[in-house]
Structure 1
Amino acid sequence: MARGERRRRGAPADGARTAERAARGGPARRDGRGGSARGAVRGVALAVLVLSLVLGLSGSWLLAWHRVRRAVTLHSASPALPPDSSSPSVAPDLFWGTYRPHVYFGMKTRSPQPLLTGLMWAQQGTTPGTPKLRHTCEQGDGVGPYGWEFHDGVSFGRQHIQDGALRLTTEFVKRPGGQHGGDWSWRVTVEPQASVQGIPPPSMAATMSSGPPTQDSPC
């Protein structure tokens, strides 16, 4: 009996075997495998996120590049108009015109270096301080209403401009002839309102320049 008892005592119990496995790092190995799996999942998720961002940005860039390319690429068909279609030799009636929508009244040529004309005026003595010069159409200058009463787009036009107590009427007429789009004439009429007395006449100036519209200067 003593020997059997000694044999039973010498055999390790289940709890002892579990403790022994824990001491040898069994659960630690299982935890290491679980951490590696979780790290792999995170890496895959991060790669998917980065790939989605790259594809989204590249798609936006490709779409923008395609639109720009379409905007600057000429159509393969032949031009509807010849390169010199705006020259006085091809379209003399349209060479001169009121092609200046940003000024109250002006004309220009259809050419790469156009000749520009315009009208300036100012009322003196009506308000204290420096008189307000009228030339370009400004949102807050208080001029209006104004607009064309008649205009055929080619040879004549008449418009009215209301500037406070003054009413301006601008007219132009063209006639064909010559090698530079024909001749044209202006007429500007200024009338004060009948109910207002003693308004001094405005100062007026014609402008003429060659080049972009920003280079106007009184002549």
Structure 2
Amino acid sequence: MSTKIDETSYFAPQVSKSDRKIAVQYRRMFAFGGLAKHLPQGPVLDVGCGAGPGLRYIRSRGATAIGVDPSIYALREAAKLIDVDLVQMDAAPRFPFADQTFGMVLANEVIEHVPDGVEFLLECARVLQPGGMVFLTTPNLWDIRRVLAPLVGKVWSGDTDPTHINLYTPWRLRNDLKAAGFKQPRIKTGFKPIRWLPPHRNPLAIPYPPLIGNGMVATGVR
């Protein structure tokens, strides 16, 4: 990530969320994108693993995983949650792994933080085994609430993070996946909760058209 941040102030709110809330959020996103059915036999690389909720989800499904993140603070918190290999990776675009190492690369809310999305996706492709999948989530720049929020004195959630330097529309994200050589690029917009269900009973997400879907799940096959 190229924008300098104070690690404690940035990651502490994420870490302080309850385990239940984090688990629900990740189940919702990953169920919406169909992550579980695509988990490979080979290891999964969780890029930008943060405090480890994605790693816990992957391991709970029986897959092996390695987490990388630029933040020592986040990795220390992840190490408290789960026993997996964790690697600090600085802002350099190249991952510290050999070609064709992983069966899947997971990048949850990462690509909006990197200055060159195609370069990032090319690096994901490099470390993927043939037939491996990239699975990423990112805010949807075409969310109509980005236009409507200022009209009611609010700020769209995707614009509140100063490290969001590369926000995507669904069409641009699909094109960047293709430019990086990924086949079968698929984009889904949505993963909002069913509001009248309490959080602990609301693991599902529902799709929305691109103009009202607040987030995107994207996949591509190497």
Which of the pair has more CA radius of gyration? 1
Q: TM-score, normalised by structure 2?
A: 0.26
Question: Relative contact order, CA 8 A, sep 6+: which one is greater?
Answer: 2
More helix by share: 2
